[in-house]
Amino acid sequence: MIKRTLILSALIMLACEDKEEINPLVGTWNMTSVDGGLYLKLNKTQMLYMGEMSGDMKVSTFHNGTPDGIYGLSEFYIDETFDGMVIAVQGYEEDYSMNYNITDYNSPLDQYNGSRVNISTRSLGYLEFVGQNYNYTIGEHSLTINADTLIRQLYVDNTGYVIDSTRHAIVSGSLTEMGMEILANENILLEDEFFMPDEIIIIINEDGTGEIDETFEGDREKYDIEWVSTDSTFTWTICEEYDGQIECDEGPEFKYDISGETLILSQYEDMCEEYESFGMSCDEAMDEIFGVEMGTLEEFWMEMKVVLSATASAKKSVYKMRQTKKKRLGEYSLMTGYKTLKKAQNE
C-alpha cells in the first residue's frame, strides 16, 4: 500500500511538471495609449527656445504675372560657420511642403551664393525657383526676408537646367522664435520633441518568438523577435537577414505590469549617454539644441509608458503632432527604443 502511494505521488508530481504555467505575457497585445517623452531639469531658471515660432512669412507664386499660389513658411534654422551663412526656412500643410534656402558664403565660396525655393504640391507637382538678389535681416531670435524674387528653374532631358521666365516667386515676411521660461529644479516635459508610433501590435508566442507591428504616419513596419522576461522585466532581440547573413540587435528593456487583460510597458533612459555616444557632452548638446546655459544642466532623460490590451483593438496614438511639424530631436520606436534623428537617418 505504501509503495502504491509513493508511486501515485511521483506520477502526480511529474504531471504537474509537464503542465508548466504559461507566461502571462503570451498573447496578442494592442496599444491603447502611449504617454511620456523627454524630460529636462536645470539648476538655474532661464529662457529656452524649443522650436515654436510666431510671425508671418509667405512664398507667393505667379504665372505670367498673375498670382497662382500662396504658401506659408513656419520655421527657420540658421547655420553660421567660418565659411559663411546658410539659412533654411520650411513650411508644411496637408497639400504642400516647401523649403526656402539662402547660401551666403564668404569669398572665395561666394560664387555659390544664392536663394532657392522648392515646392511640392498635389495640384502643381514639384516647382523650383532660384535667385541671386536675396535680402535678409537676422535678429537675436528672428529672421526677416525682404521681398526676394526668384525665377522658376526646371530640368530638361538632354539639355540640363533651363529658366522658365513665365513663372516667378516672391518670398517675404518675418518669423520670431518663442521663448519659454524654465524654472530651476523642476522636471520639465519637452512636449512634442520626437516622433511616436500611431499604432502598435505585439504578438508574443509561448516558444520565445513573436512579432512587433508598428505604424508611423501610415508607414507600417513589422519585425520578428525573440523575447526574454523575468518577473519584472521584458526585452527582445530583433534578427534580420542582410546579404545572406543574420544580424541581431538587442531591443530596449522594459519593466512590465500585467493586470487582467492590460499590459503596461515602462521604460527609463538617461539621454546624456545617447549624445555622449556621438562624442558630444550633454551640456554641449543642450546648449546647441535649446540654448541651455553651459553648466546648468542637471538631468536629461526619457520616460515612456505604453498601455496595451489583450481584448481591445489597436487604437491610434493620442500623441498628436503639431500642425507645423516642427523639427524634432528623434524618433521613439517600441522595437528599437529612442533614436536621435541623426542615428535614425544613418541606419
Full 3-state SS string of 178-234: EEEEECCCCCEEECCCEECCCEEEEEECCCCEEEEEEEECCEEEEEEEEEEECCCEE
Taken in order 163, 165, 167, 171, the sign of the CA dihedral is positive
Contact indicator for 82, 73 with CB cutoff of 8 Å: no
User: What is the spatial distance between Cα 2 and Cα 307, in angstroms, rounded to a whole number?
Assistant: 54
How is residue 303 written as a grid cell? Answer: 520616460
CB neighbours (10 Å) of residue 143? Answer: 24
- Identify the pLDDT of residue 143: 96
How is residue 96 written as a grid cell? Answer: 504642400
Between the alpha carbon of residue 215 and those of residues 219, 223, 274, 333, 343, the distances in Å are 5, 12, 24, 10, 19
Of the two residues 93 and 331, the one the predictor is more confident about is: 93
Chain centre to alpha carbon of residue 212: 19
Per-residue pLDDT reduced to its tens digit, 31-88 = 998 888 889 999 999 998 877 899 999 999 999 999 989 999 999 999 888 999 999 9
Domain boundaries defined on the chain: 22-45+183-346, 50-177
User: What is the spatial distance between Cα 309 and Cα 312, in angstroms, rounded to a whole number?
Assistant: 5
Locus of grid cell 549624445: 275
- Identify the pLDDT of residue 94: 83
Per-residue pLDDT reduced to its tens digit, 139-161 = 989 999 999 999 999 999 888 89
User: What is the spatial distance between Cα 229 and Cα 279, in angstroms, rounded to a whole number?
Assistant: 33
With a CB cutoff of 8 Å and minimum separation 6, the contacts of 263 are: 25, 29, 256, 257, 307, 308, 309, 310
- Identify the pLDDT of residue 194: 66
